[in-house]
């Protein structure tokens, strides 16, 4: 199933007078023009968060457009040096706003006292009319974004992650680069950003999320009043999923004077919600099991002294998610640690590799983390927006129950279909003076 085009979602999280904590329920409503509104009520703290979510970002870009969504994020808020008539005044009212761009979404959010919801949504609606593309404002925001990109380029660990993604997706090497390419951002024109704005700010591509101390029906009415006049239209098509990986898994060494130990990251193409929804729950559970300090994986690598630390992660996405195994080791032990990681991955389907108790504990940890996030409603508004864009609201609402239902058979099937393939491998090693460190041949060895 192909990804849908970038979608703009208005997510509204609100609180009912009787709701609090675990009793709060996420309620959704779709406006006539296709814009979705999501409200999560919790009156414990007298603040509200209003977030506008757009399906956009790295997974919807090509190397020729990589970074435009991030630049649009920087330009979304009206230029304070050129205030627009009728724009609500947020400054000095205890109201703050920010934004973030991810692989499959961009979220623009405002945090305000509970009586500031109308002004917050009105501000988002006004900003949605179009970015301020005055030459000075455009140049200033490009400079800020370029500094972010260059700072990331100087970080060997960020570079390692980027290279893993580029090796995994050789036909679209920016498929997971939400930050963007310096050359694209530096050469972007106002017309490029304006064209992106017109393409992605279609109600079918938008959601409004409201969380906090407000009454849900009031939040729905406000969203309808302020966003219901947006003309309906079709969301733009998403970029096609990158083609198959390279015939031979890639490997690369990055040398850096900033490190004294060896850090290795192995990467696999994993399941996506649009193509293998059930496997995403298994992926989360296995990653949680393998990060349990008392489990076999951690005992074999960390407790043995081969690795200083090891982590296993999977990032749920609508398109292809990425599975990572990362470990840090002393240069003298790095080869043995890498060999052991490979042996452990190959042994994951061995009967008894993880116990029923470890599986139950992993389920409990994932569910507890979901519930814990709801205690921070600003953070939870981002969580809702993320799941809406990458998986759909039903995925978020069903996640706890389907995590409970996922068992050993589903996890072993996930392992066989995704983790037994050869991974790409990237290592950050000391700057070459230590001959004991890994080399490319070590990474390519089976």
Instruction: Kindly list the distances between the CA atom of residue 210 and the CA atoms of 25, 54, 153, in Å, as whole numbers in the listed order.
Output: 12, 15, 35
d(CA 436, CA 432): 9
Is 135 buried (19+), middle (13-18) or exposed (0-12) by CB count in 10 A? exposed
Share of the chain above pLDDT 90, in %: 76
Looking at the predicted structure, is the pLDDT value of residue 6 above 70? no
Answer whether 0.85 is exceeded by the pTM.
yes
pLDDT digits 0-9 by tens, 158-193: 999 999 999 999 989 999 999 999 999 999 999 999
Looking at the predicted structure, is the pLDDT value of residue 91 above 80? no
pLDDT digits 0-9 by tens, 224-272: 999 999 998 888 776 667 777 776 789 999 999 999 999 999 999 999 9
Which of 3-17, 106-120, 385-399, 430-444 is predicted least confidently? 3-17
Is 404 buried (19+), middle (13-18) or exposed (0-12) by CB count in 10 A? middle
Is 293 buried (19+), middle (13-18) or exposed (0-12) by CB count in 10 A? exposed
**Antiparallel, parallel or unpaired: β 424-430 and 251-256:** parallel
Residue 82 is predicted with a pLDDT of 73
Looking at the predicted structure, is the pLDDT value of residue 129 above 60? yes
pLDDT digits 0-9 by tens, 40-52: 999 988 999 999 9
Average pLDDT over residues 16-37: 76
| Cβ(314)–Cβ(321) below 8 Å | yes
Residue 4 is predicted with a pLDDT of 36
| Cβ(393)–Cβ(38) below 8 Å | yes
Six-digit token string for 329? 């080791």
Residue 5 is predicted with a pLDDT of 41
Residue 163 is predicted with a pLDDT of 96
Share of the chain above pLDDT 70, in %: 89
């Amino acid at each position: 199933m192909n990804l849908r085009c970038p979608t703009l979602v208005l997510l509204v999280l609100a609180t009912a007078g009787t709701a609090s904590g675990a009793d709060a329920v996420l309620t959704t409503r779709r406006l006539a023009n296709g814009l979705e509104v999501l409200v999560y009520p919790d009156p414990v703290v007298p603040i509200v968060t209003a977030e506008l979510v757009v399906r956009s970002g790295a997974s919807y870009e090509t190397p020729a457009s990589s970074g435009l969504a991030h630049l649009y994020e920087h330009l979304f808020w009206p230029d304070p040096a050129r205030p627009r008539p009728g724009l609500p005044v947020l400054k000095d009212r205890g109201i703050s706003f920010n934004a973030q761009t991810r692989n499959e979404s961009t979220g623009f959010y405002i945090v305000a006292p509970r009586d500031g919801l109308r002004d917050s949504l009105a501000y988002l609606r006004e900003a949605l009319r179009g970015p301020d593309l005055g030459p000075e404002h455009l140049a200033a925001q490009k400079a800020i974004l370029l500094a972010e990109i260059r700072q990331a380029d100087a970080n060997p660990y960020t570079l390692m992650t980027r290279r893993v993604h580029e090796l995994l997706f050789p036909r679209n090497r920016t498929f997971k680069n939400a930050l963007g390419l310096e050359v694209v951002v530096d050469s972007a024109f106002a017309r490029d950003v304006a064209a992106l704005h017109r393409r992605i700010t279609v109600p079918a591509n938008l959601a409004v999320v409201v969380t906090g101390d407000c009454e849900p029906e009031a939040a729905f009415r406000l969203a309808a009043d302020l966003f219901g006049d947006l003309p309906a239209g079709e969301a733009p098509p998403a970029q096609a999923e990158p083609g198959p990986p390279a015939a031979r898994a890639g490997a690369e060494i990055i040398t850096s004077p900033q490190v004294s130990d060896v850090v290795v990251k192995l990467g696999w193409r994993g399941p996506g919600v649009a193509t293998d929804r059930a496997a995403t729950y298994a992926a989360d559970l296995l990653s949680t099991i393998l990060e349990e300090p008392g489990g076999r994986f951690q005992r074999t690598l960390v407790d043995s002294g081969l690795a200083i630390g090891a982590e296993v992660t999977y990032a749920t996405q609508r398109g292809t998610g990425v599975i990572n195994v990362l470990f840090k080791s002393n240069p003298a032990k790095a080869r043995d640690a890498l060999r052991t990681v490979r042996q452990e991955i190959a042994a994951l389907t061995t009967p008894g590799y993880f116990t029923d108790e470890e599986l139950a504990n992993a389920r409990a940890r994932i569910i507890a983390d979901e519930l814990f996030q709801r205690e921070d409603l600003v953070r939870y508004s981002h969580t809702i927006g993320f799941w809406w864009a990458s998986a759909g609201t039903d995925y978020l609402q069903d996640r706890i129950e389907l995590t409970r239902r996922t068992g050993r058979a589903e996890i072993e099937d996930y392992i066989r279909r995704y983790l037994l393939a050869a991974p790409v491998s990237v290592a950050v090693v000391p700057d070459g003076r230590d001959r004991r460190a890994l080399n490319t041949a070590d990474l390519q060895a089976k």
